[in-house]
Each structure stands twice: as C-alpha cells, then as structure tokens.
Structure 1
C-alpha cells in the first residue's frame, strides 16, 4: 500500500546533487579513480584530544540517561566563552545560546519558528539549498538576493524590492560564503543591521566556515556588529572548524527571543544531544585552538596549490577569501552542468555545478579543497588534458599555456 504524501512534502525542493552523488558512486564502482571535489565533507579526522574527551565521556553513567532538554549548561557556557575569546562577543549562556543537532538542523528549524504560510524570506542566490528546504516546510516564499562578482558576492539591498522588504520576516546570510568563498566586511554587516532594523527582519547568519579565513584575515562574526544581537542570530557549527561533521553538534547564538523559539521547537522534537558528544564539544571550544590554526593553514596551502595550478594552465580564477571552496567560472560557452559532466566523465574529477545553488550560480562550478595537495595537483593535470584542446581551438577557455 502506497500512502499519499502531504502537500508540504511535495513542495520540498528537489535534491539537485543527488544525481551527482549517484553518478560518482557508479563510476567508482567501475574502478575509476575519481578525485571528488564536489562535496563539502571534511577529509581530516577529528583532533585526538576531542576524541579522547568523547571516549572518557562515553563511560560516564550520567551520559547514558536523557540529557537536559536544552542541553547541558557546561556546553552552552563553553559556546559563550568561545565567542568571548574569539570575537569579543558577550552571550548569556542560558538565554542567548541554543544547542543544535548540527548547523543544518538549525537553519531549517528557524524558518518553522519565524515564518507563517505565505511569509517571505530573503535568500542569497547562489546559496546553501537547505535554506530553501526550511522555507518550503514552513509554507513560506523566497525572494532571491543575487550574489554577483561585481558586488564581491555580497547582496545589494537596494536591489531588493520594497514589497519584499515589507513582507520579509527572515534574511539568510552566509560568510565566509558557500559556494563562492567570499568574505563579508564590517561595512556590509553594519548595512545589514540598518536594513534589518528598518524592516523588522530577523537576520540568520550561517557561520559554518567562521574559523576558515585566508591571508591572515580572520572572518568577522555578524554579532561583532553593533546592534546585531537585536536583529538576529548566528549559527556556528563544529563540523568544519574541528572536523566534527559526523558528530552533529552546533549552536545558535544571539537574539534571545529567537533562541527561545528554537529551544521551544526542539523541546517538541528531541531530548537534546548525547551527553558524551556535548562533553567533546565543550573540550573543542575551550581547549587549545592550535588544531584550528593548523587546519586553516592546511586549507590555505591547498587553495594556493589549486589556484596556482589552474592559473598555470590558463584558467583565470580568483582565490577564495575563506571557506574551503573555490568558485570557478565555467569555460566560455559551457554551462555549469556541461562543465561538471565533462570533468567527471573525461577527467574523473567531480565538481558541483553552480546551477544547483540557484539561478545566479549558473556559469560557475564549485570545487572543494577536501583532497590532499598531491590530489589537487593531479586534478589540475587531468583538467589540463581535458580542457586544453577546447581552449586552444574554440576559445572556450582563457588559454595561456606556453
């Protein structure tokens, strides 16, 4: 017997990248050596001191029972301490911190908390597709904010219609940015706070790559901006900073009313996260941050290897300012799907087509820095063999090989 899905389920956006994952796996099963740069899945292990903390915590009897609904106080205090030390932001651990089942969960949940059917959310384009999922589940509608190279991949609020600003309840932002690798500056966040105040918008800043900035430039927290806590929240995940993607723990911080909504929503959904994971998270946040510095250095070296290699074969691309992604313009005359398909089937290099991140992602592909430098060098060589003749003969590529 097949049951009919609810209308909300039918309104969910399609998982655009499911086809890519399926195709990559099928090729792998044939024995092909795929260099997978298409997914944002950290390739390094969780630092040993965090794993050791988890091992010890697993044996504690108190962690075998239900944890407090809203998380242990110590992990919320650890998050507040982390924000104070890293960004100079003061937080009330009980009122301004919410423990989340990974950043993705919070990004989907916040739409359920703030949007009624028909309400508008302002969403970056290109952007993380799970913003769309949350809005769809809430029955809301989206107003896309184009991120274009000419504006350094920052939204131009003057281009958002007055009606959308009036109807808007929620605004998603994400810097360092996935997929473009762009960074936000102080002036942009100040303008964001101004717009949010004028239009009663709740800003949700997805800070997933908040520790990964390059060229000695530390990413800015939205909450460092005067008035930011009045106008929104920030979501910080341990997945990228500490290679804890599989552990599923993050936190939302900022506006107390939104934090209370998230906590209340989760009261009805979960009984918080396994206590041993919370202990490990507290260890990560309050312990030595040397592992984070080493991680950022590693990603910067990988970035430099990739960008230098692509420049050497004539692909004119810009280096990302942060995150672990590079946003590459497609060869002239090729769509993002065509570029991704070509690289996968002829070079055995998997990348993510920009179209999957929104209409304004067309014309780009996203490349993840989640392989060792040697594999990135090999990827460049494969791309050179794959695209070289096309660039030479058709003008499809800014070709400058000797």
Structure 2
C-alpha cells in the first residue's frame, strides 16, 4: 500500500547509483566518490573546542530552543550585517534550522495550501521542489540560469498558472549547476515578485564558496526585499560542518514567524552545545573560511585541467563545491543514470546523475569537489582509460536501435 504523500514522490534516482557504488566497494574496488556533496574537510578546531567545552555543562543537555538560542540568532544577524550590510532583528527575522534543507521543507509546510503553485528552477536541489510537493503544492518549472529566459518564464507562469503562484525559489550559487547571480538580477526578481505579490525564497548555502573574487550577494541587499523574501543559509560548507545540521532562515517577519510556529510543533532545535559552537563559528575569525575557499579553488582547478586532459571537458565553476559537466557526446543518449553507472563500473569513479536534480539535467552529471587533488587526478586517469575504450564500451552497452 502506498501513502498519498509518498506516492507523489518519484523514485530516488541516486539510489540506483548508490547501490552499484556499494556493491563495487564490497567487491574491493577503490571508488573515488565525487557524487555526494559531503565536505571532507575537518571542522575548524576552535569550533570543535567550543562544542567540547560546552557539552561538559549538564545544563546544556536539556531541551533547547526551537527557533535557536538568542546568542546564535544574534550571531547570524551580525554575520548578515558584516557580509551583506543587511540589518536583521534576531528576535523576529532570524530562525535557526537543522540545516537549510529542513528550513526549506518546513517553510513549505508553513505556507503551502493544497494546489498552491510554486515556481522552481529545473534543474535544482531536490528539496526545492519536493518540499512543496510533499506539502500538497503544485510545481511549475523555470530555467535555472539567471538570464532573460528566466523572467520570460516567470511572466508566462503568472499568466497561465491557476491559481497564481505563491512563491519563486532561487538558488545562487546554484546546486547543481554552479550558476551565479548578481545584485541586478535580484533587483529584477524582487520588483517582479512585488508587482505580482509572490514570495521569494532564496537558498544561499554556498555564499562563501566562490572563486573569482566577487562574493555572491544576498537577495536581501535589494531595498524592500525583506517585504517579500526569506533566505536560507547553512554552516555545512562554510565551516565544514555538514553533520552538525546547522542552518538559518532570515528575512520577512511574517514568513519567519510562520516557519517558527511550524517548527515549534516539530522540534526543540539542535543540541544546545552545537548551537553554542555555531555561535563561536559565526563570531570567530574569518581565516578558516578563506582556507576552505582556497581548498575548493585548488580542487576546482585540478579537476578542470585533469578532466580536460582525459577527454572529458568540464566547464570551470565560478562558485559552489560542484562542477556541472555535460556528458560526453558519444554517451549522451544513455542518459545521466546509465552514464554514472558506467563510470563506476569502468572507471571506479562516482558522480551524481543530473536527472536527480530535474528532467532538464539529464544531459549532465554533477561532480563534487570532495576528494583531494591527488584523488581527483587519479579519477581523471581512470576516466581517460575508460574513454580510450569508449567505442567497445558503447557497443556492449547500447543495443542496436536503442534510444532514450
């Protein structure tokens, strides 16, 4: 028997690749895993030290605050003031979340009525779409690139959607495409959203992972954006804290209040010592952020150079910890799942199939910068050997007359 909400969710396309990866490892294969965006760098020591110090106090072992302890919310407001010049009230415009993913999912529960239409980029991180689908909403897709076609799609959506869309999702730097947006783009989005009374929900989880010297802006930097916008951030990548599950939603007071109200029924917030350590991260030195950025930049450069030399050109991402790579032409008809499986079987390299991020991602794979430079070069050598036997591989994989 299937349940209504799970019936609305498609099969998890990463599972097929994950099973093959696990099977190969069980057989002794040394799989270089560039699939899941799971940071491999250690959390900075001063943050770990604060956690271990705080956890010694048994008073911190009790229930915490669902919306986040006050010091943590003040620290996040302080970060927005320093980084973006945006003033936030920590009591009414900041909520701590269990990562940005949980924040998105519970915001969807808070604001979505059955049948409400939400505008979602395609391809995009799965929770951007399926959080609203699980909440009973309907999806209308828009392009992932921040260009003129994005706004044409918004115009068509407002004209042709019944009921009118309630929100538009943004994600820049993007997961998975690594697209970046500038402040002028955000100004145009905010103007459009205000004109049509649509909320803006922005995912800024990769705000500190950028490579060209230009820090990605916040949509809340646009004057008046706070009237209709909420932004989600995370400490997972900035401070290499993925397992700590610490993120934030900030912005419009009405939306933040709705999220906080839903969360008050669902959780008591993160473990207090984690929140105290997260406060130390936000209030602490910035050198560790730059160190993380430099590691990803070097890995990005090694990936682009070594994969190009292997015959698998990868566009150089300007930001995020991902590269969005077109599948080589002779393999494109296989689709991203079958190509990803081939890389595991023939090259001992795991990547994420693009279709897992939306149907318009099926000609791509996402490559995560979560292995060191030596391992990335090894992955390139493995792929080069695989591509040198590509004609034979294709002959064995694709039956005559097959098509996707």
Query: Normalized against structure 2, the TM-score is what?
Result: 0.92
**Does 1:198 find its partner at 2:195?**
yes
In structure 1, the partner of 2:152 is 158
Q: Does 1:352 align with 2:346?
A: no
Farther off after superposition, 247-256 or 304-313: 304-313
Compared CA separation, residues 155 and 221, structure 1 to 2 (3 A): farther
Inter-partner Cα distance in structure 2 for 1:96 and 1:393: 55
Instruction: Give the whole-Å Cα distance in 2 for the aligned partners of 1:393 and 1:14.
Output: 27
Q: What SS class does the counterpart of residue 288 from structure 2 fall into?
A: helix
Name the counterpart of 1:397: none
Report the equivalent of 2:16: 19
* Number of aligned residue pairs: 388
Deviations 1:314-355 (A, max 9, x none): 333310011100011111142222321221110010011111
RMSD: 1.9
Per-residue deviation at 1:136? Answer: 1.7
- 2:369 maps to 369
Residues 155/287 of structure 1: CA separation in 2 closer, same or farther (3 Å cut): farther
2:278 aligned with 1:281: yes
Structure 1 unaligned regions, length at least 5: 395-402
- 1:213 match: secondary structure: coil
Q: Relative to structure 1, is the Cα distance of residues 78 and 34 closer, same or farther in structure 2, using a 3 angstrom cutoff?
A: same
Cα deviation for residue 228 of structure 1 reads 1.7
Aligned partners of 2:34 and 2:351 also within 8 Å: yes
Aligned to 1:264: 261
1:328-339 equivalences in 2 (<5 Å): 328-333=325-330, 334=332, 335-339=335-339
Runs of 5+ consecutive residues of structure 2 not aligned to the other structure: 395-404
Aligned pair partner of 2:140 in 140, 143, 150: 143
Kindly indicate whether the alpha-carbon contact (under 8 Å) linking 1:174 and 1:205 is maintained by their aligned counterparts in 2. Answer: yes
> How far apart, in 1, do the equivalents of 2:369 and 2:281 lie?
23
Deviation per residue, 1:171-197 (Å, 9 max, x gap):
111111010111111121111101111
1:48 to 45, 49, 59: 45
Q: After superposition, give the CA deviation of every residue in 1:134-173 in whole Å (9 maximum; x if it has no partner).
A: 112211100011235xx66x86121232223961011111
Which of 99, 106, 126 is residue 102 of structure 1 equivalent to?
99
**Cα distance change, pair 393–261 in 1 and its aligned pair in 2 (3 A):** closer
The change in CA–CA distance for 1:371 and 1:388 in structure 2 (over 3 A counts) is same
Shift of 1:126: 0.3
User: 2: distance between equivalents of 1:304 and 1:378?
Assistant: 15
When normalised by structure 1's length, the TM-score is 0.92
- The partner residue of 1:212 within 209, 212, 223 is 209
Corresponding position of 2:398:
none
Q: Which residue of 1 aligns with 2:7?
A: 10
How far off its partner does 1:63 sit?
0.7
For 1:370 and 1:140, locate their aligned partners in 2 and report how far apart those are by CA, in whole Å.
34
1:304 is aligned, of 301, 313, 316, to 301
Contact 1:67-1:271 within 8 A present in 2 as well: yes
SS at match of 2:236: helix
